[in-house]
Structure 1
Amino acid sequence: MTPTTTTQPMPPTTSTLPTPTSALGRLWQSPPLLALLGAALLWAGWPTHPAPFTLLLFVGFVPYLRLEQVLTAQGARRGRVFAMSYLFLVLWNAFTTWWVSYSTLGGGIAAVVLNAALMCLPLMAFRRTKERLGAKMGYFSLPIYWIAFEQLHLHWDLTWPWLTLGNGFASVPSWVQWYEYTGFLGGSVWLWGVNILIFWAWAGRRRLPYWTNSWPALAIGLPLIFSFGLGRSYQEKGPEAEVLVIQPNIDPYEEKFPGTARFITFEEQLKRLLDRTEQNIAPQTRLVLWPETTLDETYFETTFDREAKVQHIRQVLLARHPGLSLLTGITSVVRYPDKEHATVTARHRDDLGYYDVFNTAAFFPDASAPAQFYHKSRLVPGVEKIPPVLTGLLNNIDLGGVAGSYGSQEQRTVFASPGTPALRVGPIICYESIYGDFINQYAHNGATLLGIITNDGWWSDSPGHEQHLVYGALRAIETRRDVARSANTGISGFVNQHGEITQRTGWWVGAAARSVVHLNDEQTFYVRYGELIGRGAQLLAGLLVLGAVAGPLVRKK
């Protein structure tokens, strides 16, 4: 009987490695050089490099897969496998997110070093599963473990999902129009699937039929074709309204805050905002967005409407333009009557009692209605949120300031404009815009427009503010909502429901942008059902871990 040739791509088997005879051969068998190559490919393919470079993401993990194969063939110990995996990940993190150090050097180093260590967890789980259950099950488990980790990284106290693989397609929204069904973790599945198929095609090229090399091309091409067709057929939905976004361009290091070298008084900052708004507003404008922490003096929410600056905004801007609403960032305080009513993030002072400090979005429905508040809830670890395990320690250390976390809230608040009933804006503050399932909740709660208010000047003129901008564009695809974005010193502008940036201001300039947006109230599959891929991956990861632990024991028995 003639043996049947397999028609499916199969995982490569491990064999003794031949001695390399060329420089390329030595590269392909050197774990440190493979780690460097993989990190460089992922960095080069990451936003915001030119769109064609995004294709490099489909091979960015191939050097890592080869690295793991080489170490397996060499019989390397787990410590060396971990070290080479960590080298690969720490280089990728450093190349791609080095700019965090502009805000805080310690935070930038921690983001790179710790995030790379956490990313090693799914790679080590893959390695262990491969050892215990075989190569085929091992490679099958790899994307599952990785995406289960990405789902965890969206929700726990050490959350830092900047390098979630699905974000890698943010510069090419036309490639991922199907995010309205899968969310951005669907992009993570796509990227891992193609990388593994390309590695299999290369590693098994001598024993597989030549036509199996078409599998990677199909894995890339079919989702692209579906996305292009979906994007071409999708039409902007919802009634129209005109929105104005303001970019005041006040330097957060030198001008914005008291004690800085060229501090601009809060009165002058407000005057500049009002003047720029008045110069760019039109009779049909229905909503104005000012950026995060525009009013940075601390305001008690119970007396906010009686503040002099608040009354001035009502008189000078809102009363002159009937039907106009305003969304702006402030720093606010809520006091609690006693410890029993306080939250876990509440602080205490003898003169104030128990209170929370919030990074807040304040909404003025019109000239007379009371202001409404939303409290930023996805907080930056170490800067706005201290993990509970560290809070007790930091409370006993004099850091020259106040230790503890900002407050947050459970629900996503949607602000409705009384002058335009279809205009219901979901306020998104800075870092929150990189969380797909989090932003979904605004659309689920009735938002017809996503309003991002941010201050990206902390990252100077680096890839940071550009990446932040295009990541927010993915939220437009997932929810099929227009996005209006107001940044203090970043990039302000508008994104349509295809995820295309239709207007953008310059970097580090005072500016304004006005556009007509569509107010869609339909819910996408992703909005209705949430993060199915992430939750499913976590379930499968649990089963794989159980199988890896119990399987060998059962076979032995």
Structure 2
Amino acid sequence: MKNPYILALISGLLLAASWPTYGISLIVFIAFVPLLLAEYSIRKSEAKKTNRRVWLVGYTTFFVWNLLTTWWIYNSTGFGMLFAVLVNSLLMSIVFLLYHLVAKKFPPKIHYVFLPAIWMAFEKFHLNWDFSWPWLNLGNVFATSTHYIQWYEYTGSFGGSLWVWILNLGFFNLVLKYIATKSLKSVQKRLVFNLLWIAIPIVISLLIKSNYEESGKEIEAVILQPNIDPYTDKYYTTNKKVAQILMDMAAEKADENTEIILAPETVFAKSFRINDFSEDYTMYRLRTFLKRYPKANLLAGTSFIDVFHDPKEITSQSNQYNENTWYNDYNSAFFLNATTDSIPVYHKSKLVVGVENFPFKSVLEPLLGNVMLDLGGTVATKTTQEDRTVFSADDYKVAPVICYESVYGEFVSKYIQNGAEFIAIITNDAWWGNTQGHKQHLNYARLRAIENRKSVVRSANTGISAIINQTGDIQQTLEYGVQGSLKGKIHLNNKVTFYARYGDYIARVAVLASALILLFAFTRKRKL
């Protein structure tokens, strides 16, 4: 076989070539095959220190993949990009090394189960720990090919991860068979079998989509895209001025039928005192404006701060200002109408690593000090909430999903379990510039629409703002880098899909399977 490092490089390039939004998703079904061939050749060789070689080969693949698909983080911070690429590649290569160790001890019927299982266990782990970065979870690869994966309403994105590994292992075995026999005829049946594994899920998906009809009440939404530069303007613009910008923009599209007006994440960047928020003059002005539109509610993002002096109130997410003063900092959404004095609030709970949370703060902060990365106008740890708040209007219930949270499938499904009838995503993707970053983020929202069969309205500060229907089709967009607004109708839906009800059940099975195989592998001394 060829040099394993060349094979590893090919796999990295194929993975990048499959990734949204510039890639061709079907390439992913063969992307791991060169890497698997490299591992196989090393494992079957008589060379010593195969573990180190497999790790280096795996790291080559994953470094190329991570670099080519997430280099755009560099626009916010060079260090952050290097950290994300290097560490994520390291974690992926360790997972692949575990596969190599198991493959040396067990026959294919076991280690071919272990590889998808340990990879999905890793993806599940990556959704929940302090350094969470699930951007490259394999199920996300179909974000621009939603006609292939309408069955995500039953499996979630982990169904896509499993599909990818089944096909890669299938084509890998086909190649091994051909290498052994040098006969195309000998692999015809395997080829047909693999092609059916591609075709059948796609046909099922197309049938689901062709028979799916949006039903239920329609409501009118107005989505605002103020296009305020976060590097030069956002954190230097008063809340009073921002409110005027939003009101002027909304007035261009809103009418007596408008039921929700959506504004971006932390559009009010000057932190309100959380206890005085309802009485703030800016809220008074917005309430007065909303009286023109009797059905309308404003869902917008804001920063909050809660200053306190009692050490008993300190939590793991609190920040110290000086010797006797602490504060909690929030990235939040609020829901305002013209008639209600109280203003419901939701605090963002899936935080961007190094920007909004200090990973393993209790351990690392005493050692390193405050080394938070300034990626978003703040270096303070954000305070989160445990439950998913659903905002209720007279005629609908909406999930307020803030920015990075939209990448987390099971997390978003908790809003649906709490009664949300559609999803509102508010975000600020300007940190990455006009790159693949904000485009990938938009398309990941399409996966949430399918998983939950919910319409999505998306307000992004600099774009891309959008309306997405329940089958993941983008109905309207407002391009990146312009100020403007969208107006459209969306369907409400109180259905709870199989995935929304049961979440990442495939990943939980994978965690159990991989743990059992690992336990068995490392308690055995010889290969079966």
Shorter-chain TM-score: what band? over 0.9
Contact 2:135 2:407 in 1 (8 A): yes
Q: Secondary structure of the residue that 1:410 maps to in structure 2?
A: coil
Q: Secondary structure of the residue that 2:525 maps to in structure 1?
A: helix
Letter matched to residue 118 of structure 1: L
Partner Cα distance (1:244, 1:286) in 2: 8
The alignment status of 1:493 with 2:466, answered yes or no, reads yes
User: Which of the residues 240, 251, 256 maps onto 2:234?
Assistant: 256
Q: Which structure: larger Rg?
A: 1
Contact 1:166 1:188 in 2 (8 A): yes
Letter matched to residue 85 of structure 2: V
1:399 CA drift (Å)? 9.1
In the other structure, the counterpart of 1:26 is none
Q: Secondary structure of the residue that 1:550 maps to in structure 2?
A: coil
In the other structure, the counterpart of 2:393 is 417
Partner Cα distance (2:56, 2:373) in 1: 34
In the other structure, the counterpart of 1:386 is 358
The alignment status of 1:407 with 2:378, answered yes or no, reads no
The alignment status of 1:80 with 2:77, answered yes or no, reads no
Partner Cα distance (2:172, 2:42) in 1: 16
Partner Cα distance (1:399, 1:413) in 2: 28
Contact 1:323 1:366 in 2 (8 A): no
In the other structure, the counterpart of 2:5 is 32
Partner Cα distance (1:416, 1:468) in 2: 26
Give the 3 Å change call, closer, same or farther, for CA 438–67 of structure 1 in structure 2.
same
The alignment status of 1:55 with 2:26, answered yes or no, reads yes
The alignment status of 1:347 with 2:319, answered yes or no, reads yes
Equivalences for 1:147-186 in 2 at 5 Å?
147-186=120-159
In the other structure, the counterpart of 1:222 is 200
Question: Structure 1 vs Structure 2: percent identity of aligned residues?
Answer: 38
Partner Cα distance (1:394, 1:406) in 2: 19
In the other structure, the counterpart of 2:344 is 372
Equivalences for 1:219-298 in 2 at 5 Å?
219-258=197-236, 264-298=237-271
Q: Secondary structure of the residue that 1:95 maps to in structure 2?
A: helix
In the other structure, the counterpart of 1:210 is 188
In the other structure, the counterpart of 1:536 is 509
Gaps of 5+ in 2: none
1:138 CA drift (Å)? 1.8
Q: Secondary structure of the residue that 2:230 maps to in structure 1?
A: coil
1:397 CA drift (Å)? 7.0
Task: After superposing the two structures, state which structure 1 stretch, 191-200 or 341-350, moved more.
Answer: 341-350
In the other structure, the counterpart of 2:110 is 137
CA deviations over 1:20-78 (Å, ceiling 9, x no partner): xxxxxxxxx1222212211111111110026xx21111111111111112222334421
Contact 1:130 1:136 in 2 (8 A): no
Letter matched to residue 226 of structure 1: I
Q: TM-score, normalised by structure 1?
A: 0.89
1:554 CA drift (Å)? 10
Task: After superposing the two structures, state which structure 1 stretch, 249-258 or 379-388, moved more.
Answer: 249-258
Gaps of 5+ in 1: 1-16, 18-28, 259-263
Contact 1:376 1:408 in 2 (8 A): yes
Task: Let me know the Cα RMSD of the aligned residues.
Answer: 2.0
Give the 3 Å change call, closer, same or farther, for CA 528–399 of structure 1 in structure 2.
closer
User: Which of the residues 36, 46, 54 maps onto 1:65?
Assistant: 36
Q: Secondary structure of the residue that 1:521 maps to in structure 2?
A: coil
Contact 1:150 1:164 in 2 (8 A): yes
Contact 2:331 2:382 in 1 (8 A): yes
User: Which of the residues 358, 369, 374 maps onto 1:395?
Assistant: 369
Q: Secondary structure of the residue that 1:514 maps to in structure 2?
A: strand
Q: Secondary structure of the residue that 2:222 maps to in structure 1?
A: strand
Partner Cα distance (1:529, 1:112) in 2: 32
Contact 2:20 2:143 in 1 (8 A): yes
Give the 3 Å change call, closer, same or farther, for CA 31–209 of structure 1 in structure 2.
closer
1:268 CA drift (Å)? 3.1
CA deviations over 1:208-253 (Å, ceiling 9, x no partner): 5632321210110111111111111111132111111000111112
Partner Cα distance (1:189, 1:398) in 2: 35
In the other structure, the counterpart of 2:306 is 334
Partner Cα distance (2:473, 2:242) in 1: 32
Q: Secondary structure of the residue that 1:360 maps to in structure 2?
A: strand
CA deviations over 1:444-481 (Å, ceiling 9, x no partner): 00000100000111110100000000001100000000
User: Which of the residues 189, 201, 208 maps onto 2:162?
Assistant: 189
Task: After superposing the two structures, state which structure 1 stretch, 478-487 or 224-233, moved more.
Answer: 224-233
The alignment status of 1:446 with 2:419, answered yes or no, reads yes
Q: Secondary structure of the residue that 2:416 maps to in structure 1?
A: helix
1:124 CA drift (Å)? 1.0
In the other structure, the counterpart of 1:6 is none
The alignment status of 1:323 with 2:290, answered yes or no, reads no
Question: Structure 1: which 4+ aligned runs deviate by more than 4 Å?
Answer: 206-209, 396-404
Contact 2:239 2:282 in 1 (8 A): no
Letter matched to residue 18 of structure 2: G
The alignment status of 1:356 with 2:328, answered yes or no, reads yes
Contact 1:395 1:404 in 2 (8 A): no
Task: After superposing the two structures, state which structure 1 stretch, 429-438 or 388-397, moved more.
Answer: 388-397
Contact 1:505 1:512 in 2 (8 A): yes
Task: After superposing the two structures, state which structure 1 stretch, 103-112 or 397-406, moved more.
Answer: 397-406
Partner Cα distance (2:92, 2:240) in 1: 46
Contact 1:58 1:195 in 2 (8 A): yes
In the other structure, the counterpart of 2:480 is 507
Partner Cα distance (1:469, 1:173) in 2: 13
Contact 2:358 2:372 in 1 (8 A): no
Q: TM-score, normalised by structure 2?
A: 0.94
